[in-house]
A and B are shown apart, each in its own frame.
Chain A
Amino acid sequence: MDRHADHVEYVLRTVEERGVRFVRLWFTDVVGAMKSFSITPAELENALEEGMSFDGSAIEGYTRVQEADMLAVPDPNTFELLPWRGDDAPVARMFCDVHHFDGTAFDGDPRNVLKRNLAAARERGYRFFVAPEMEYFYFRSEREAEPLDNAGFFDLTTQDMATELRKQTILTLEAMGIPVEYSFHENGPSQHEIDLRYTDALSMADNVMTFRLVVKEVARANGVHATFMPKPISGAFGSGMHSHLSLFEGEANAFHDPGDEFGLSKTGKAFIAGLLRHAREITAVTNQWVNSYKRLVAGYEAPVYVCWARNNRSALVRVPLPKRGNTDAARVEYRAPDPACNPYLAFSLMLAAGLRGIDEGYELPPEATNNIFEMTSAQRAEAGIATLPTSLDEAIEVMAESSLVRDALGEHVFEYFLRNKRREWDDYRIQVTPWELSRFLGSL
């Protein structure tokens, strides 16, 4: 019996033994929203063998109406019970790959995009691991950004009512097989961070989707609202998704070289060089909303300039010092992404940029040692330090010219993404904002 058959048998048996009432089939649209429909246990076997058909025309970025019918094919290795649904009438979920009716993978499915990029890494002998730091806010409701508390970084006070929420969240995540490395109160009021332990990029993208749902479910069950909006409060810290990236070649960490000044191998350096050189092109995806660019400003430890450093927290790429002897821990931290990105596409592009650096043998520029925020723009230009796009508009236009992004996303997602994001920018551009009213209505 092959492994797929073992998996299927295991899932069918578990559904029976645990009395599961519904199985939710999860997949993701192009902008990273989770989509779901439920099937009953009676439909499950067929779904696992052949997939379940659904109308793809309703999904952002999927398909034109005339070719609307698609298949959601569950991945039995992602079968988990949803802990918040309780034991009385258990509900389970599985992530799905989206296929055409002829069984071929659908190009518009972000999970498929990531699988394609991971296959490209595999051809070169690499496996790609990711560990993201997830930041988010709790507010009293979704209508207004009113914090639950005014505690600061690492504070543990009675004001910190969100500690209980975070604890429940972590227990739920762990029950779903998503181990947590650290969690703490972040800088902003009611801002929290939960760091997930590394795993392979595909599982991690699934985990990020699950994570966002769990955080929101736990908050809602407690009568508050959780948001991954990148910058909900002007003048406070925004929410990032710093991503720790590593490549393994066989059993060895491909980034590690104990003899090097930075502990970095040639491969590691070229990967960073690739990230840096293509950073501006991939920003539209790692930071995909109008609001994302309100976070990428100076003064809040968010990256603005394209540079790397070991210990400068405003650098775009940070090389954390691995603990002595722990060679497996060598990694690079890419600090631009925010937690409202589509993790499948964001991981795809970080990988593609790094692999391009390895393929082409890019040179790593010198480490940024001065505080680059204090340099004048002329000094930065002289030092060859570029600036990340400052608006969604700029990011989209840089991306539109990128063959790297086009290849990594595939034609379908690339074209759709640009169309969708240009529309978002146009909507935003014509708004008259409260800031303008307060600034100009009286004075002009």
Chain B
Amino acid sequence: MMDVFMSALLVFPDPPPPLLAQTLDLAGFQWKAVANAAVAMAQIPEQGWAGAVVCADEDPEGAFGVCRVLRKGDAPVDGVLLLVSGAQLGELEHREDLFDDFCLSPFHPKELEARLQHLQWRAGRGAAGAEIAAYSGLEINVETYQAAVDGRPLDLTYMEYELLKFFVTNPGKVFTREQLLSRVWGYEYYGGARTVDVHVRRLRAKLGEEHANLIQTVRSVGYRFGQTRWGSGG
């Protein structure tokens, strides 16, 4: 499982609704659930919370309490997404400062993901904004283009680097070869989907036996980097 996080999203309550947990996992977000405002304060990660998803439909008082502590202190958390039921919309009045966006509950997973992605982008934590992306002993510094595995430098060609960066910043998600071609190679690349296979093999070879299985082949679909807690169904 993921052991080194870029930086986690805070999620309230603990445990979160199963659909929310699954949506976050499948979208590749790293997150940590908190039970109340005190826990949220006590467990701030070293790099700070990357954002938050706060469910207000079950326990509105607790939810707004968490939002409040996130806004306080030296480093207020950017990118707070509030989940509210339709009946609660009126309660948002005068509380606009406590969240950055909201989403109606029950939510559509794609909408939740899109809103979160957008908040992350606005907060400068999107793939392009992160300076260091890390996953399970693997580290990528997007400022210096350098990659390392267990602290040992990993020498990559440019396209290998771009592919690995894409994987590390999108862990747990399954991508088809065509998606990888368009998102990593990013243009009408002549090589076709086989180019992806070739580069995945090269990356696995360079990662070495111990880490080669970080990039998993998902039969007749494509590839996934790292694990999801939802098995291979992701």
Contacts and interface: CB of A to CB of B under 8 A. Distances in A.
Interface of A: 3, 6-7, 10-11, 13-14, 17-18, 76-81, 87, 122, 127, 129, 173-175, 177-180, 197-200, 203, 248, 250-251, 328
A251 B192 contact: yes
Given A11-B158, A13-B144, A127-B194, A177 B205 contact: yes
Which of A127, A129, A174, A178 gathers most chain B CB within 10 Å?
Answer: A174
B183 interface: no
Interface of B: 144-146, 153, 155-161, 187, 190-195, 198, 201-202, 204-206, 208
Contact of B157 (A3, A78, A180): A78
Nearest to B158: A10
Given A18-B146, A178-B205, A199-B198, 16 more contacts: A10-B145, A14-B155, A18-B155, A77-B158, A77-B159, A122-B190, A174-B206, A175-B206, A177-B205, A179-B202, A197-B201, A200-B191, A248-B192, A248-B194, A251-B192, A328-B194
Contact of B155 (A6, A13, A81): A81
Contacts of A180: 205
Contacts of B193: 251
A314 to B, nearest CB: 31
B41 to A, nearest CB: 38
Which of B190, B206, B208 gathers most chain A CB within 10 Å?
Answer: B206
Nearest to A197: B201
Contacts of A198: 198
Given A17-B146, A127-B191, A177-B205, A79 B157 contact: yes
Contacts of A250: 192
B146 to A, nearest CB: 5
Contacts of A127: 190-192, 194
A6 B158 CA distance: 8
Contacts of B206: 174-175, 177
A17 B145 contact: yes
B190 A13 contact: no
- Per CB-CB distance, the 6 closest pairs between chain A and chain B, nearest first, are A174-B205, A10-B158, A177-B202, A179-B205, A179-B201, A81-B155
B145 A177 contact: no
Contact of A175 (B155, B191, B198, B201): B155
B144 A17 contact: yes
23 contacts: A10-B145, A10-B158, A10-B161, A13-B145, A17-B146, A77-B159, A78-B157, A80-B155, A81-B155, A122-B190, A174-B205, A175-B205, A177-B157, A177-B202, A178-B202, A178-B205, A179-B201, A179-B202, A179-B204, A197-B201, A199-B198, A200-B191, A203-B198
Nearest to B195: A200
Nearest to B201: A179
Contacts of A14: 145-146, 155
